Each structure stands twice: as C-alpha cells, then as structure tokens.
Structure 1
Amino acid sequence: MVTLSVLSAKGQKARDLEATLPEVNPHVLYEVVKWQMAKRRAGTAATKTRGMVNFTTKKMYSQKHTGRARHGDYGAPIFVGGGTVFGPQPRDYSYTLPKKVRKLGLAMALADRAKDGKLLIAEGFEGVNGKTKEFLAWATGAGLDGSQTVLLVTANELVRRAARNLPWVRTLAPEGLNVYDILRQEWLVLDMPAWEAAQARLASQGKGGEA
C-alpha cells in the first residue's frame, strides 16, 4: 500500500490517495523494457552477399598455368567491394513476453515512481486550453519547474498540446502508458481518468499492447 498525492485542478495538493502497488523488482522492469526495445527495433540492417554485389560472374583468369592463386569472380568476399560473409540481414527482433509479466512490470514502474514521491494524480488542469504558457503556469503551481523531466498522461488533447512544446515534458494518451517511458522520465503525472484507466488495465485479463 502506497500513498499518492492528488492535486486539485489548480495544481495544488488536495488530498492523499491510498493505492495497492507491488514491491519493485528491478529484474522484472529490465525484462519488460528489453521486450519493448526489441519490439521497436527496425531490424533493417543489411549487407550484400556475394550473390548481390554488382560484379560480373566471369572467372578472373584461368584456373591453371598462371602461377597465381585460383580465384572465381570479383565478387568474392576477399576482394575490396566483394560480398560480405555472414553480414546482417533484415530480421524481426520482437518476441513474446507473458501478459502477466507485462502487467506486473507496469505496476512496478508506477510503484517505483510512487515510492520516490514522484507520482502525482491531477483532478484536472484548470485554465489549460491548448497554450504552452497556460500549462507552464499550472506546472509551476504544482512544483514542476523544468529542472526534472515529466511524463504527462492525459486523454485531454488540449492539455497534451499545451505541454508537448516544453522540452522537459513528454506527453502520452492513457492507452500509451508504458514502462519504458515511465522510467525514462523523473516525474509521472496522470489525470484521474488516466489513473483509473491504468488501474483497470492492470486488473483486466484481456489482451494488452505495450506494458
């Protein structure tokens, strides 16, 4: 059981909220982040093999009676510009991670921010209507001055638009909440609908996307 700070719509601390979150296991967080990074890899690295290089396949010179080593075509890997042996080819780096582990990782990421007192839940964003200066005023009132990075999670498009121009704020919709982005930023701020969506996601047994 952890105690979370709930901010009023004006950015002032309004009350505390009790939540049940698991103990943090760094290895679980590592496994989930590794899984996320593997899914995001493009896997497009490629080199040309001997059969792909643009050289004639004609034999360089006669096999015998030259006094030189025997060779085939100019595309052989031992020559400059020749094909690469065992070079990278396009591949899919993604793999399957159990849904229970993904959900546990998300819960632990929330717990990690909560234990440091860096998880805030906002009841709203009063006065924020799409302008950066409006969100900056709200954040300053909430004690977020830009000295540390913030992950802002809200379904309100106007609030996300207002915050996304600030270099120290990363914004996400509630369905995009994931372990990697939580751990990358020093503070996590969710509005109440986003917090409830996260709790429902952790409690559900259905299929999920990135944890």
Structure 2
Amino acid sequence: MAVIDLYNVKGQKIGTREISDEVFNIDPNYDVMWRYVDYQLSLRRAGTASTKTRGEVSGGGRKPWPQKHTGRARHGSIRSPIWRHGGVAHGPKPRDWSKKLPKKMKKLALRSALSQRFREGNLIVVDDIKLEKPSTKEMIGILKNLGLDGQKVLIVLPWKNPEYENVKLSARNLETVKVIIADNPGARREDERAIRIDGLNVYDIMNHDKLVLAWDTVVKIEEVLK
C-alpha cells in the first residue's frame, strides 16, 4: 500500500494514510487516458453546425442564360456552389459527435490519471474542507495554507451538502481553481437525496497542476475504482 501525507485546512500535517496501489500507484496508461479525454471532449460538441446545399438555397430555378451562342460559360443554376450566394459543397450538417468508451477503459484512465498525479507529488489529501458560508477570502486562505496559491488546482469533494456547496461557491471567482463534487447518481443520504452535479474525470485532473482530495473522496474513489 502506498502512503500519503494527510493535511488539515491550516496546512498542518496531521498524519499519514495508506492508499490503494491499484488505484493511486499503477503505471499510467497514456493511450487510454488520451482516449478518455477524446471521448469526454467529443460529448461536449453540440453538432449543430449546418449549411445549405444547392438544393436547399432559395432561387435558381431558371437557367441564367442559354446553353450556347452567348460566349459565356454554361450554367444551369445561380445556386451552384461556384456562384456567390450559392449552396455550399460538402459543408457541415448536424451530427452526433459523441463516442463510446468501455467502462473498464474509463476506470483504467481514471486510475492512470490519479496515479500520474500521485507519482508527480501533485496529489494532496486533506482531512476535510468545509465552509459554513461562501467566502472567497476564506478559500484563498485555505489555498495559501496548503501552498497552492497562484497554481491551477482541482478540488474534489465527496458528496453534495451545504458545507461542500459553499466551498464550490467560494472558488467560483478564482480563475485557477475548480471544485467538483463527485457524487453518485441516485444515492440517498439521511439529510437529502444526493445529486450528481459534477463527477471525477480525466480531463479535469490532467488540466490542473494540483489535485486536492478530501479523505472521504479518496475512500469513495477506492470503492468505485478497485
């Protein structure tokens, strides 16, 4: 089992924890990581770009001039793609850009991304991060305590509740910080129904220099990815 330091929000080391080698300390598979990012970004594409072909552009029913004896090139329609205001040849049409990726590859990609950050020393585990009310000032203070001010940081919290939601709201105005709540869809807790509002993903992990996980998040990740 790999061992990682555990910090509090004051930046103080309060102990160490064992983390699963199967999840946080494998040899990263960069090919599968690329496939996951490609799959993820493809899902974001709207696929609504559209142009009109010569058959869809209005007008052009009449032959612009006789076929012969004018000394000009022959044309059958003013809506030909070679004419100004004509149709577009081979232009984009609405389409579905989404791709599919097997579940095993998704899990391998996540394990690879987490392991990459752990081996780089860019994975930071804190006991918990909670705020009673939204406060950007407090959020900046927490980042400074952890030595992360001015860096591109991804913070992953375990489930939706008001205190975690306040953390997310507090980081909303910080350009270099993103907070996601990696909850399970349809899960139920005592206080409310947990709703998936973000989700852990490879693109966000690799798009940020530092990864900060609450300890409960680590436990959840190991439950899902082992």
For normalisation by structure 2, the TM-score amounts to 0.82
Aligned to 1:11: 11
Q: How does 1:174-189 map to 2 (within 5 A)?
A: 174-175=182-183, 176-189=199-212
Q: What is the aligned-residue RMSD (CA, Å)? A: 1.8
Matched, 1:169 2:169: no
Quote the residue 1:107 is aligned against. Answer: 111
Q: How does 1:189-200 map to 2 (within 5 A)?
A: 189-200=212-223
> 1:47 matched to which residue of 2?
51
Deviant stretches of 4+, over 6 Å = none
Which amino acid in structure 1 is aligned with residue 166 of structure 2?
L
What amino acid is the match of 1:180?
Answer: Y
Q: Any residues of structure 2 matched to 1:127-146 within 5 Å, and which?
A: 129-146=133-150
| CA offset digits 1:24-46 (Å, max 9, x no partner) | 12112111111111111112222
Whole-Å separation in 2 of the counterparts to 1:128 and 1:24: 38
Letter paired with 1:153: V
Partner AA of 2:37 in structure 1: V
Alignment of structure 1 residues 24-173 onto 2, 5 Å: 24-125=28-129, 129-146=133-150, 148-154=151-157, 155=159, 156-173=164-181
Shift of residue 163, structure 1, vs aligned partner:
1.9
SS in 1 for 2:75: coil
Q: Any idea what the Cα deviations from partners look like across 1:70-113, whole Å, max 9, x if unmatched?
A: 32111011111211111111111111111100010001111111
Q: How much has 1:63 moved relative to structure 2? A: 2.9
Structure 2 unmatched runs, 5+: 184-198
Letter in 1 for 2:200: L
Give the percent of matched residue pairs that are identical in Structure 1 and Structure 2.
Answer: 42
- Kindly provide the amino acid, as one letter, of the partner of residue 139 in structure 2: F
Matched AA of 1:152: I
State the match for 1:2 in structure 2: 2
- Taking a change above 3 Å as real, the CA distance of residues 126 and 170 of structure 1, as seen in their structure-2 partners, is closer
User: Residue by residue, what CA displacement relative to the aligned partner does 1:125-180 show, whole Å, maximum 9, x if unpaired?
Assistant: 3666321111111221111122x200011131011111222111011111311000
TM-score by length of 1: 0.88
CA distance in 1, matches of 2:125, 2:11: 10
